[in-house]
């Protein structure tokens, strides 16, 4: 049997990692400024995290949600405190796409409506409903064409959103805290505030996708907190488990839980909870949200000084660096010559998503290597 070839892959095989560094099978060290799609939050192989997972595996690794699991309650309490949403409820799942699916479904259960509003250049996942609210037709197969989804422009036309919400019975509006795949596009705080007000007025459920932009990455626990709003549902994943597959939804008190509407085999299992609890503990103990804000502000400030760059966008350690020309050759040089992993969005934007434990020294080292390859 061979792998189904769906990914273009660099000819690099990481076999070990620590903090913000990755080591390949030949012992070559790389600076990790991508965190495996923003997944690595507290750093690779954090000793507290490794110990927590190892201890849990020796006790019990998995049983179903048909029985009690006090680790879920422990995690929910810690997440409520860290995030600033202690009065919300938690539903745990396995992936960002699954969190999106359940958020859209819960919204429709709540108000018995079908239409969904999403935003242009959005990305919310690759499963059946998630791909329909993702603004990229190449991800959609013929079986994904039945949902009623309208894509509107981000930031520049709240009146169009208002018209849609008041004229149509919209179930939910889904928006990213910061668009990742869309190019690190940051929603305007006023736009988000007005959107929240419109959803409240019309009984529309506001879903904030914080799968990539949440968990401290933006320099606040959630990126939407820059706008001072409280969404109805918040989806989380990626940095939540520091590499262990785990996701979830934070659900406002106005939603009623009904047995049988939502469910999952693996969601909230013992190992997933151990990983999520360890991540929450480290984020709090090491002040990683504050670190992301501080080091990210430094990076953004220094990048904006470089004359070759068209625009720098983002908050904290979620940064987009846009160039006038395609960046492929620069990215290749950065990876293969300067040994730095980064992400991209489209053909012109570097996407920087390093672990939240990134130090000032590592940020300066990245800038030194980056300046050597940009043209």
Q: Return the CATH number at 35.
A: 3.90.1150.10
* pTM as predicted: 0.97
**Is the pLDDT reported for residue 168 higher than 90?**
no
Tokens read off for 152: 């509107």
- Tell me the three state secondary structure of residue 242: coil
Same domain, 82 and 132: yes
Distance in angstroms (rounded) separating the CA atoms of residues 284 and 275: 14
Give the residue from 255, 285, 315 where a domain finishes.
Answer: 285
Distance in angstroms (rounded) separating the CA atoms of residues 276 and 290: 19
Same domain, 230 and 292: no
Confidence of residue 22 (pLDDT cuts 50, 70, 90): very high
Tokens read off for 107: 């919204």
Does 7 reside within a domain?
no
Same domain, 136 and 158: yes
Residues written for the chain: 375
**Is the pLDDT reported for residue 238 higher than 90?**
yes
Q: Which domain, by its residues, includes 313?
A: 14-45+287-373
Same domain, 218 and 231: yes
Give the residue from 265, 285, 305 where a domain finishes.
Answer: 285
Confidence of residue 173 (pLDDT cuts 50, 70, 90): very high
Same domain, 152 and 64: yes
Tokens read off for 292: 């992301």
Same domain, 233 and 346: no
Q: What is the mean pLDDT of residues 64-71?
A: 97
β-pair partners for 118: 151
> What pLDDT sits at residue 362?
98
Does 237 reside within a domain?
yes
Does 6 reside within a domain?
no
Does 162 reside within a domain?
yes
**Is the pLDDT reported for residue 117 higher than 90?**
yes
Burial class (CB in 10 A: 0-12, 13-18, 19+), 311: middle
Same domain, 230 and 344: no
Q: What is the mean pLDDT of residues 32-56?
A: 98
Does 34 reside within a domain?
yes
Rg, the chain, Cα only: 20
Same domain, 276 and 294: no
What confidence tens digit (pLDDT) does each residue in 97-110 have? Answer: 999 999 999 999 99
Confidence of residue 283 (pLDDT cuts 50, 70, 90): very high
What confidence tens digit (pLDDT) does each residue in 82-96 have? Answer: 999 999 999 999 999
Same domain, 124 and 213: yes
Same domain, 309 and 338: yes
Distance in angstroms (rounded) separating the CA atoms of residues 219 and 63: 35
- Mean pLDDT score of the chain, rounded to an integer? 97
> What pLDDT sits at residue 226?
98
Q: Pick the more confident residue, 142 or 19.
A: 19
Nearest to 128 by CA among 106, 110, 146, 108: 146
Q: What is the mean pLDDT of residues 140-159?
A: 91
> What pLDDT sits at residue 375?
74
Confidence of residue 146 (pLDDT cuts 50, 70, 90): confident
Give the residue from 285, 305, 339 where a domain finishes.
Answer: 285
Same domain, 251 and 299: no
Domain count, the chain: 2
pLDDT exceeding 90 applies to what percent of the chain? Answer: 96
> What pLDDT sits at residue 144?
83
Q: Return the CATH number at 116.
A: 3.40.640.10
**Is the pLDDT reported for residue 156 higher than 90?**
no
Does 5 reside within a domain?
no
> What pLDDT sits at residue 248?
98
Does 2 reside within a domain?
no
**Is the pLDDT reported for residue 129 higher than 90?**
yes
Same domain, 126 and 259: yes
Does 135 reside within a domain?
yes
First to last CA, the chain: 44
- Parallel, antiparallel, or unpaired: how do β-strands 115-119 and 170-176 relate? parallel
> What pLDDT sits at residue 10?
93
């Amino acid at each position: 049997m061979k792998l189904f070839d769906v990914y273009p892959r660099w000819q690099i095989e990481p076999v070990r990692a620590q903090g913000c560094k990755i080591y390949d099978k030949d012992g070559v060290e790389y600076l990790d400024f991508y965190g495996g799609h923003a997944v690595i939050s507290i750093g690779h192989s954090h000793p507290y995290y490794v110990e927590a997972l190892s201890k849990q595996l020796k006790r019990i690794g998995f049983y179903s949600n048909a029985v009690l699991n006090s680790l879920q309650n422990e995690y929910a309490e810690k997440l409520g405190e860290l995030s600033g949403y202690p009065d919300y409820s938690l539903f745990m799942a396995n992936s960002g796409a699954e969190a999106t699916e359940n958020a859209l479904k819960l919204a429709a259960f709540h108000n018995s409506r079908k239409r969904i509003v999403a935003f242009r250049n959005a990305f919310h996942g690759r499963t059946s409903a998630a791909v329909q609210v993702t603004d990229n037709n190449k991800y959609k197969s013929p079986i994904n064409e039945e949902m009623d989804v309208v894509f509107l422009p981000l930031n520049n036309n709240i009146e169009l959103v208002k018209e849609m919400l008041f004229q149509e019975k919209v179930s939910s509006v889904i928006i990213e805290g910061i668009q990742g795949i869309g190019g690190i596009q940051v929603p305007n705080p006023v736009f988000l505030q007005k959107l929240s007000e419109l959803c409240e007025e019309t009984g529309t459920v506001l879903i904030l996708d914080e799968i990539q932009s949440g968990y401290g990455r933006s320099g606040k626990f959630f990126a939407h907190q820059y706008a001072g709003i409280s969404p109805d549902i918040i989806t989380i994943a990626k940095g939540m488990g520091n590499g262990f597959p785990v996701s979830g939804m934070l659900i406002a008190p106005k939603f009623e839980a009904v047995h049988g509407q939502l469910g999952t085999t693996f969601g909230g299992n013992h190992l997933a909870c151990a990983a999520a609890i360890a991540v929450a503990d480290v984020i709090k103990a090491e002040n990683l949200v504050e670190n992301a804000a501080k080091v990210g502000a430094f990076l953004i400030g220094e990048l904006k000084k470089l004359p070759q760059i068209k625009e720098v966008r983002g908050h904290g350690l979620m940064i987009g660096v846009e160039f006038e020309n395609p960046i492929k050759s620069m990215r290749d040089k950065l990876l293969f010559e300067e040994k730095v992993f980064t992400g991209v969005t489209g053909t012109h934007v570097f996407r920087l998503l390093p672990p939240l434990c990134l130090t000032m020294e590592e940020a300066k080292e990245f800038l030194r290597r980056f300046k050597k390859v940009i043209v």
